[in-house]
Amino acid sequence: MEKILDKYDTTTKFYLSPEEIDYLTKKKRADETYTHKGEAFSLGMTMLEVALLENSEDLYNLNPRTIDLEGVEKRIKAL
């Protein structure tokens, strides 16, 4: 997160969990819970990409920075 925050702008592409996106956009205080949830989410997204052989970039919106959780759920159900 530190490296992302150093280079953060609205056009940079990177995969983050909903909690991490919330932290970046609202500057909410990050704690260890976010770190663990973020790591688990990132691992899950990686596994989803591998299982479907489909890039997840289209699930992320840049401005405002959000994630399409309904799209993620649809892909999970496609397995």
- Of the pLDDT bands very low, low, confident and very high (cuts 50, 70, 90), residue 77 is very high
48-60 confidence digits (pLDDT tens):
999 999 888 888 8
User: In the chain, where are the structural domains located?
Assistant: 2-68
Contact 2, 35 (CB under 8 A): no
pTM: 0.69
